[in-house]
Amino acid sequence: MRSVITFVCAGETLFATLDAAPGTTGLLIVSGGNEIRVGAHRGMAQLAAAVAATGHPVFRYDRRGVGDSGGVNGGFLSAEADLAGAVAAFRSAQPQIGTLVGFGNCDGATTLALFGRAAGIDRVLLANPWVVEDANDGLPPQAAIRARYAARLRDPAAWWRLVSGGIDVRKAVSGLRKITTPAAETGLARRVTAAIGDWGGSAHILLAEGDATAIAFRAAAPEVAAEMVATASHSFARDGDQAALLAAVLRVLR
């Protein structure tokens, strides 16, 4: 049964959605970016319903300043208290829960990697973790540009688009300039990689193989084992993606 509940974080009222179920292993979903708890294309709401139908309770919430929740949106690095409050509210609403699994995409995954253990989460599934410092240049991460250009160089149709004027030359030059500039290892990437290592076998990584954020994570943390999904959709929204995502979530829950 689905219901809307509220909880308090730093004096602000936060809104959450609970898909109740009798199971003792629960799933807490952390949204990425400024995405509300329903998810892109209602993907997180659909995932919650599917997981709850298997007997696992599911909790989704809007952090401060996002969606229905009050307060100021300070970004994912300021969301530790929100996560801890959500864990407490979930356990209060479903007191039979013994094991708690966290799932997040993009910087929701990063939030879980950094703050999940202190909040009382037992295992995490991290999809396309965000490890890129904001370059403010409007371009994708360096590793993603490099992968895209490598694919284009192998595609005869791309060469034809170049000579026929079908490619924005100015944008292409900007991309080439970025990938030929030496990349500095970011503090965020080091911090997230170290945090994932601290989870040991309790952290599971899921990457959309054609997604720019996933490509950047793979470049920053090549030693971290990850399950790949054959999609370029960051939110796993293409045909077959939701089934792959659900299967990965259920494996971690079980």
What percent of the chain shows pLDDT beyond 70? 80
- Structure confidence at residue 180 (pLDDT): 45
- The architecture of the domain spanning 2-133+186-253 is 3-Layer(aba) Sandwich (3.40)
- Structure confidence at residue 186 (pLDDT): 72
168 contacts 162 by C-beta, under 8 angstroms = no
> Could you read off the pLDDT of 144-203 as tens digits, one per residue?
454 454 445 555 665 456 556 665 656 554 544 544 444 445 799 999 999 999 999 999
Four-residue CA torsion sign, 226, 227, 233, 236: negative
- Structure confidence at residue 251 (pLDDT): 98
**Considering only CA atoms, which of 21, 7, 24, 3 is closest in space to residue 254?**
24
In the predicted model, what is the mean pLDDT of residues 4-13?
98
> Could you read off the pLDDT of 57-76 as tens digits, one per residue?
999 999 999 999 999 999 99
Q: Where are the domains of the chain?
A: 2-133+186-253, 142-179
> Could you read off the pLDDT of 105-150 as tens digits, one per residue?
999 999 999 999 999 999 999 999 999 986 555 555 554 454 454 4
Other Cβ atoms closer than 10 A to 128: 31
Distance CA 44, CA 101 (A): 15
Other Cβ atoms closer than 10 A to 242: 18
Q: What average pLDDT does the structure give for the chain?
A: 88
70 contacts 64 by C-beta, under 8 angstroms = yes
Across 2-11, 160-169, 203-212, 221-230, least confident range:
160-169
For the chain, what is the HEC assignment?
Answer: CEEEEEEEECCEEEEEEEECCCCCEEEEEECCCCCCCCCHHHHHHHHHHHHHHCCCCEEEECCCCCCCCCCCCCCHHHCHHHHHHHHHHHHHHCCCCCEEEEEEECHHHHHHHHHHHHHCCCEEEEECCCCCCCCCCCCCCHHHHHHHHHHHHCCHHHHHHHHCCCCCHHHHHHHHHHHCCCCCCCHHHHHHHHHHHHHHHHEEEEEECCCHHHHHHHHHCCCCCCEEECCCCCCCCCCCHHHHHHHHHHHHHC
- Structure confidence at residue 165 (pLDDT): 61
